[in-house]
A and B are shown apart, each in its own frame.
Chain A
């Protein structure tokens, strides 16, 4: 059994060797490959040599499992995430739907800001911010806490009717299932910091995102309260030394 597993996973990595690395993300390598005729991407959590092998194993195991679990949970609720085709838990590889013709929300915001003057760029981005707020509210409604919300972990399909924003959430490796407002508040706090530091002078845009989050969710008020608390903790933290 152990031997079979090993052979299978060696087959997977052997297969990946021939494929093209699309991106080296925050913790994984993403390849473009075909899976049973469907265009797909393979996300491989390769072993990180800087950390202790026991810790490395533990993290990759847990993250691969959580990513698949929470993607499925979101898809069941109609929240747009890539379809999962195949998982190899031994080599920590997830084969999933390739969101073709997409850009990260990060790149989309940056290119909009490059193309237009600041105020008109913000104007153009408001519908997207509102859409992100809506989708996150829906995700939290399902008790999925993403754990790594950044604009790099949201894709936008390009070839669609501009009014119909095709937003897709990805990268659920740090996700968990939790009903606690504290966890959801921290989720938004992490996004807020990543958002504002990546995209300078977009405070108004992030406010639109939050407004839309609140408007789309029945359970938002304890979450926003926790968000305020976590923000305050950040500002009050002692910084001695």
Chain B
């Protein structure tokens, strides 16, 4: 019954979670929030993570009512993500692993999302839509790899939403995506935007530059409201995501979908995906913000699977990497 602690901090969230055989014992998290109109920069984000990580570690242990002696394995995010924040978190993980004398496991961030989603929803072998600030991928498992069937050919969907939020100076608290979601609910008029699907791939950069260009003009001339723009942007982006997911399902003959990653807690996206699933007799699985958004438990869960199947990371291999594709990892814990 190994107890695994997971450290995550690849972007502006930092989280530490403790799991015992699929049971989440604790999962505290902090977010580095920037002023409206501003994104988060690597060095400042790393500074934020450094300033809270030790408190967060204490909190994770206290909430789980465990001490260092109870931990069997330390998992940390190896990548992908921002260099400086990744290094900060890996350093602490490496240190405690040595202090406590337990093995270390370096985890692919995307695999963390996938395994957490599978744990929480009990989806068996779903087509996966992984949508976050840095990633947009449609994934299906076969022969020991999470294989990428479709992805963005330029920017990620979350990045597109975040950058649009900056144009309109929408608050980053708790997250720009959530505030867009709330505003979109009040939008009524559908503004036509570019729509680019290529097979199972999508492109968002054209939409972003179109809306960046048009937004302020349309608002100034009262052609539409900011809420209408949020609504139209969501409707367009999410239609593209649902479409490529459906394409992958048809191609793979799949009857299950699991949405993971930060954008995955958007209820409108979940609703649209649900309607698509109904139309093809498939089943939708999704999780809420506790597990969709970057957190420590997801790293612990993927680490637990890796540890259980005999994977550990030697100290000399415990580096981080900014680029780390989902399909690079050999999935030793599934048939």
Q: Interface residues, chain A, CB within 8 Å of chain B?
A: 24-27, 48-52, 54-55, 58-59, 106, 147-150, 152, 174, 186-187, 189-191, 193-194, 197-198, 200-201, 230, 233-241
Q: Is the CB of A238 within 8 A of B150?
A: no
Q: Is the CB of A241 within 8 A of B250?
A: no
Q: Is the CB of B276 within 8 A of A147?
A: no
Q: Is the CB of B198 within 8 A of A106?
A: no
Point out the residues of chain A lying under 8 angstroms from B199, CB to CB.
147-150, 174, 190-191, 194
Most interface-central of A26, A51, A239 (chain B CB within 10 A): A239
Point out the residues of chain A lying under 8 angstroms from B143, CB to CB.
200-201
Please, how many angstroms separate the alpha-carbon atoms of A190 and B10 in the complex? 29
* Interface flags, B139-151, vs A, CB<8A=1, else 0: 0101101011111
Nearest chain-A residue to B140 (Cβ)? A197
Nearest chain-A residue to B294 (Cβ)? A241
Please, how many angstroms separate the alpha-carbon atoms of A9 and B272 in the complex? 27
Q: Is the CB of B159 within 8 A of A241?
A: yes
Point out the residues of chain B lying under 8 angstroms from A190, CB to CB.
198-201
* Interface flags, B278-295, vs A, CB<8A=1, else 0: 011000000000000010
Q: Is B132 an interface residue (CB 8 A)?
A: yes
Q: Is the CB of A241 within 8 A of B242?
A: no
Please, how many angstroms separate the alpha-carbon atoms of A191 and B199 in the complex? 8
Point out the residues of chain B lying under 8 angstroms from A191, CB to CB.
199
Q: Is the CB of B247 within 8 A of A240?
A: no
Point out the residues of chain B lying under 8 angstroms from A50, CB to CB.
239, 242, 271-273, 275-276, 279
Known: A239-B135, A241-B156. A200 touches B239 (CB 8 A): no
Q: Is B211 an interface residue (CB 8 A)?
A: no
Q: Is the CB of B134 within 8 A of A240?
A: yes
Please, how many angstroms separate the alpha-carbon atoms of A241 and B161 in the complex? 13
Point out the residues of chain B lying under 8 angstroms from A152, CB to CB.
250-251
Question: Could you list 12 A-B pairs, sorted by A, with CB under 8 Å?
Answer: A27-B247, A50-B271, A54-B190, A148-B198, A174-B198, A186-B198, A193-B200, A194-B200, A239-B80, A239-B322, A240-B133, A240-B322
* Interface flags, B153-167, vs A, CB<8A=1, else 0: 110101100000000
Q: Is the CB of B153 within 8 A of A55?
A: no
Most interface-central of A27, A200, A241 (chain B CB within 10 A): A241
A113 to chain B, nearest CB (A): 11
Q: Is the CB of B239 within 8 A of A52?
A: yes
Q: Interface residues, chain B, CB within 8 Å of chain A?
A: 10-12, 79-82, 132-135, 140, 142-143, 145, 147-154, 156, 158-159, 190, 192, 195, 197-201, 235-236, 239, 242-243, 246-247, 250-252, 262, 271-273, 275-276, 279-280, 294, 322-325, 327
Please, how many angstroms separate the alpha-carbon atoms of A236 and B152 in the complex? 13
Number of A-B contacts (CB under 8 A): 132
Q: Chain B interface mostly helix, strand, loop or mixed?
A: mixed
Point out the residues of chain B lying under 8 angstroms from A52, CB to CB.
190, 235, 239
Point out the residues of chain A lying under 8 angstroms from B247, CB to CB.
26-27, 148
Please, how many angstroms separate the alpha-carbon atoms of A227 and B172 in the complex? 37
Known: A26-B250, A174-B199. A241 touches B149 (CB 8 A): no
Point out the residues of chain A lying under 8 angstroms from B135, CB to CB.
239, 241
Point out the residues of chain B lying under 8 angstroms from A235, CB to CB.
323, 325
Known: A51-B242, A236-B323, A241-B159. A194 touches B133 (CB 8 A): no
Q: Is the CB of A238 within 8 A of B276?
A: no
Most interface-central of A24, A26, A234 (chain B CB within 10 A): A26
Q: Is the CB of A51 within 8 A of B142?
A: no
Please, how many angstroms separate the alpha-carbon atoms of A150 and B201 in the complex? 12
Nearest chain-B residue to A146 (Cβ)? B199
A104 to chain B, nearest CB (A): 10
Point out the residues of chain B lying under 8 angstroms from A201, CB to CB.
143
A29 to chain B, nearest CB (A): 10
Point out the residues of chain A lying under 8 angstroms from B148, CB to CB.
193, 197
Point out the residues of chain B lying under 8 angstroms from A59, CB to CB.
195
Please, how many angstroms separate the alpha-carbon atoms of A26 and B254 in the complex? 12
A230 to chain B, nearest CB (A): 7
B320 to chain A, nearest CB (A): 13
Q: Is the CB of B11 within 8 A of A240?
A: yes
B29 to chain A, nearest CB (A): 14
Point out the residues of chain B lying under 8 angstroms from A234, CB to CB.
151, 153
Q: Is the CB of A26 within 8 A of B153?
A: no
Point out the residues of chain A lying under 8 angstroms from B159, CB to CB.
241
Point out the residues of chain B lying under 8 angstroms from A189, CB to CB.
153
A152 to chain B, nearest CB (A): 5
Please, how many angstroms separate the alpha-carbon atoms of A189 and B152 in the complex? 12
Please, how many angstroms separate the alpha-carbon atoms of A152 and B249 in the complex? 12
Nearest chain-A residue to B323 (Cβ)? A239
B4 to chain A, nearest CB (A): 24
Nearest chain-A residue to B275 (Cβ)? A50
B207 to chain A, nearest CB (A): 12
A176 to chain B, nearest CB (A): 10
Q: Is the CB of A200 within 8 A of B279?
A: no
Known: A25-B250, A49-B275, A58-B192. A241 touches B158 (CB 8 A): yes
